[in-house]
Structure 1
């Protein structure tokens, strides 16, 4: 066993997107950097490698080409309405205000300069159940998805003209932060060849959130908001996101706040090829499907429809019997509307195949639905409701009320057949609204009955809540400096990305407008590097 000692101007802990951006910006400014990560170099980029790649941006060329006239004032009003910041969340709010004012220059333009391009159609997500979300489409999908984005930046980092100033330490796990003369001055831990230490003038923590440790998720679960933490909770985050550095930051006096604010999803399914316990996939479920409770009864009186308020979906599913739900659809709905969040489940976005993507949008994603039917344990099908209910009951654990499910489905289909002039159902009103925006119209069926004999077979998907992102974390000021209990910076200590609640210990408050996660890894990381280079 050896004891290795490393020196740098700045130590960046965590080689995910925030860490890569921080290191890249520091190299651009001539700083000596040590970039350290507990994982192997092949996992460089962290969770961003698995992300779909959406970023919430405003006043971009893509918005303008889509006829969207956005403004900082409208953007901020939407953000504040969704976030519902507590009175003491001043830093989260200040980061939000800065994001709204600076996202075009600090994120979009910078990524464009790095070679990142975006899908030409801007998506409209998180509209809010009562129009209390995004007033306009702002969700920009990076060509190449999350892996393409982070891979491009990592390649620029590793081939940087100043790469001789970069020390890479993979498979090195930090066990503690070190202090000298009252300032954080490095870390110690164990690597492949034994113990190590890094001495640095500044330390930037970019180690993600707590979502990979379901024990911690349960510890901080907001029962009053979501109901009891589900026993069947899935994890959409690798176990390496365990919050260990949160403890180390607290040990040197830094504040960690708002860990009960999480961004989870209500439509998780078990991964057919799990890489860790309780590994799940997060669906982007069909809007034309009927969302049912565990007994197969339609949820209401306000039906659940994805794409409007993810936070509310989680709250409502968390209070259902068994804390799981079913979505009922047919083959035609599934191939038109089904998607799964992530890089590898969207290969045409990942591989930048625009013509094939357009063709798939027009003809349906048959390959994805077939894969789900063949491989995913939570997906069942049947030619009749009776056959389908039998297979749903085989999964359980609660029994399906076949008669009640049939009555709900038949009532919905009967209303569809009366024609739009006689539709009186909130889900149909929302479907009509969705189809007004061209991107959603291409991905949304038009008045499709469930029990359509030409659209079968029937498909049911058992869905659970899946843990994804921490929206709280280390409390940081606008220079990404970690603050202590008195509100003063901990000398030498910075944080960026999910570790910092994506800025200020909670830039999104209780509810994200979506697309604020990858983008804030860029925003926080650049801000930390700029402050360090300027002697902040």
Structure 2
């Protein structure tokens, strides 16, 4: 019997690896053509209390302190049972990622709402991408080496949960290549949230209509599919009105009204960045909870509001700054005078802002309540600056679960055979999620769901299998006629195009030829000397099509190498390579 994992983001991947560790088999169904989900875009890191890294850095943190910080953030909706799991297993989750997947999580920062530094990241690349890719690649390798245990089907949209006469979930229906398929087994939902649900039956519009027109950081796959499907099958939704608006979405000066925006990592404020309004003044404790900072931005109302990093802060988070500058979302200024000119204010006004802040740093008495500081500021310094806007980011509401990740029905009872983890699971973060706890929730509850589903499978009796009409027993080798994992995500063959024939047999193009292909219906990019036709891949890119279109018709090598491992192209986009660039 295989357990069906619906969703290929970090929560689903963590569940799948845990199932395999417990001896279970896995069928992973993901509606995207490229797994990863929003997890790949997480930029600040993953929380953990009492980790190996914290011990090495002499950070006196523990699960009890983390519990209290999380409970305070969750406020009136705090679920002690779920918070205890999240925080109590946080150190083990980070250690598991380091030990099992060999990840570098050696840097630790303090984000808003945390009393100690506990948000882990590595020295390069976005931590969400690094963590998710490591799990994704390992699982895909297992799908090749152990196909009897691991099957992955991409572009498979699950549409229905199948229940038997005893109200047990025994499988799913999904569409693939225009056909409806059926798979049987216990189900783990890891389908993400609904912060991009602009569909006709939008959960966002139903529960928070005032947020419906805000921009979002979410990929267009975050439409609440798992919520809707499970609630149709009798699951209880909780806290659905609790939608987190993140204060720092990056405003693209060339496309300020874009519906989907990149997120400015909370780590930028964690290393000392200041939020200044259009008069050059501070108006909030930059390290307060996200909903508080967002509220103060709206209350202040003096837009554009800018996030400003001085030289030391920029150096501390240099990779992020380079990334944002490369995307045209951040500017570098080499003096205070240049920065004052950008704001449209006098140098004396900006100097006073810095002087007032330095007095706060020295006295530790901030009128806005800030308690943690990263040193004084000087006017003659370098600065990195971006315009900010609040953006839809995370949905705390979701399917009610217990501390074993079992989905609860409207009568308060667990639905047999149904589990949930990641953003689709409600109640974990209460009224407000702390920065760094999204990746943590995915890993911790992904592992909990994997453990629970494996135990459920082992406890299944022959009588239950017989009552299901033999359907469950029929999946020992998985679904008959199901598409193979290896063929589920291939791209369309590259179209014929002009270009010289190289001595190696591939075609050679000039940059002038590449530059002609910059429309959404015809997109080429250059990466490490190779020319890629990424037209078919555009809707599947986990960072959204805009991430590719920024480099349409151009050489994207530097940006690509900042974010990706070199194995990504041969592994996930081999068919997109149509030739090489002429040297």
Common topology (TM > 0.5): yes
Q: Secondary structure at the match of 2:108?
A: coil
Q: Secondary structure at the match of 1:282?
A: coil
Q: Does 1:376 align with 2:340?
A: no
The separation in 1 between residues aligned to 2:365 and 2:55, in whole angstroms, is 35
The separation in 1 between residues aligned to 2:173 and 2:361, in whole angstroms, is 66
Identify the residue that residue 97 of structure 2 maps to in structure 1. Answer: 111
Identify the residue that residue 388 of structure 1 maps to in structure 2. Answer: 342
Contact 2:273–2:313 (CA under 8 A) maintained in structure 1: no
Find the partner of 1:76 among 67, 78, 86: 67
Find the partner of 2:128 among 131, 146, 166: 146
Find the partner of 1:481 among 392, 400, 406: 406
Q: How many residues align?
A: 445
Q: Does 1:308 align with 2:233?
A: no
Find the partner of 2:156 among 166, 172, 175: 172
The separation in 1 between residues aligned to 2:441 and 2:403, in whole angstroms, is 12
Identify the residue that residue 245 of structure 1 maps to in structure 2. Answer: 226
Superposition deviation, residue 240 in structure 1: 0.4
Identify the residue that residue 81 of structure 2 maps to in structure 1. Answer: 94
Q: Secondary structure at the match of 1:468?
A: strand
Map 1:394-433 → 2, pairs under 5 A:
408-409=349-350, 411-413=352-354, 415=356, 426=367, 430=370, 433=372
Q: 1:314 to 1:220 in 2, by over 3 A?
A: farther
Q: Secondary structure at the match of 2:69?
A: helix
Contact 2:280–2:353 (CA under 8 A) maintained in structure 1: no
Q: 1:388 to 1:58 in 2, by over 3 A?
A: closer
Superposition deviation, residue 53 in structure 1: 5.8
Larger RCO: 1 or 2 (CA < 8 Å, sep 6+): 1
The separation in 2 between residues aligned to 1:459 and 1:24, in whole angstroms, is 40
Map 1:490-505 → 2, pairs under 5 A:
490-500=415-425, 505=426
Contact 1:10–1:204 (CA under 8 A) maintained in structure 2: yes
Contact 1:13–1:35 (CA under 8 A) maintained in structure 2: yes
Identify the residue that residue 487 of structure 2 maps to in structure 1. Answer: none
Q: Which runs of 5+ in 1 are unaligned?
A: 1-7, 127-132, 339-359, 391-401, 436-443
The separation in 1 between residues aligned to 2:38 and 2:320, in whole angstroms, is 25
Contact 2:276–2:307 (CA under 8 A) maintained in structure 1: yes
The separation in 1 between residues aligned to 2:225 and 2:450, in whole angstroms, is 23
Q: Secondary structure at the match of 1:199?
A: strand
Find the partner of 1:19 among 12, 15, 25: 12
Q: 1:104 to 1:250 in 2, by over 3 A?
A: same
The separation in 2 between residues aligned to 1:413 and 1:245, in whole angstroms, is 48
Identify the residue that residue 373 of structure 2 maps to in structure 1. Answer: 434
Question: Which deviations, in whole Å up to 9, do the C-alpha atoms of 1:245-266 show, x marking residues without a partner?
Answer: 2111110000111122233321
Q: Secondary structure at the match of 1:528?
A: helix
Contact 2:193–2:423 (CA under 8 A) maintained in structure 1: yes
* TM-align CA RMSD: 3.6
The separation in 2 between residues aligned to 1:167 and 1:205, in whole angstroms, is 16
Superposition deviation, residue 73 in structure 1: 2.7
Superposition deviation, residue 421 in structure 1: 6.4
Q: Secondary structure at the match of 1:104?
A: helix
Q: Secondary structure at the match of 2:226?
A: helix
The separation in 2 between residues aligned to 1:362 and 1:498, in whole angstroms, is 27
Q: Does 1:120 align with 2:45?
A: no
Q: 1:57 to 1:416 in 2, by over 3 A?
A: closer
Superposition deviation, residue 220 in structure 1: 5.8
Superposition deviation, residue 515 in structure 1: 1.6
Contact 1:270–1:278 (CA under 8 A) maintained in structure 2: no
The separation in 2 between residues aligned to 1:217 and 1:378, in whole angstroms, is 37
Contact 2:333–2:339 (CA under 8 A) maintained in structure 1: no
Q: Secondary structure at the match of 2:186?
A: strand
Q: 1:476 to 1:419 in 2, by over 3 A?
A: closer
Contact 1:269–1:280 (CA under 8 A) maintained in structure 2: yes
Q: Does 1:515 align with 2:436?
A: yes
Superposition deviation, residue 151 in structure 1: 1.7
The separation in 2 between residues aligned to 1:423 and 1:96, in whole angstroms, is 31
Contact 1:388–1:460 (CA under 8 A) maintained in structure 2: no
Q: 1:482 to 1:422 in 2, by over 3 A?
A: closer
Superposition deviation, residue 447 in structure 1: 2.5
Contact 1:37–1:173 (CA under 8 A) maintained in structure 2: yes
Question: Which deviations, in whole Å up to 9, do the C-alpha atoms of 1:257-287 show, x marking residues without a partner?
Answer: 112223332121235798x951212224567
The separation in 2 between residues aligned to 1:279 and 1:74, in whole angstroms, is 35
Find the partner of 2:391 among 460, 466, 471: 466
Q: 1:124 to 1:388 in 2, by over 3 A?
A: closer
Contact 2:30–2:156 (CA under 8 A) maintained in structure 1: yes
Q: Secondary structure at the match of 2:299?
A: coil
Contact 2:13–2:136 (CA under 8 A) maintained in structure 1: yes
Q: Secondary structure at the match of 1:150?
A: helix
The list of structure 1 runs, each at least 4 consecutive aligned residues, that deviate by more than 6 angstroms after superposition, is: 362-366, 377-382, 416-424
Question: Which deviations, in whole Å up to 9, do the C-alpha atoms of 1:205-257 show, x marking residues without a partner?
Answer: 1100011225747526669xxxx5385x3211101011022111110000111
Question: Which deviations, in whole Å up to 9, do the C-alpha atoms of 1:137-164 show, x marking residues without a partner?
Answer: 1111156522221222122222336442
User: Taking structure 1 as the reference length, what is the TM-score of the superposition?
Assistant: 0.72
Superposition deviation, residue 517 in structure 1: 1.2
The separation in 1 between residues aligned to 2:114 and 2:8, in whole angstroms, is 31
Q: Does 1:533 align with 2:516?
A: no
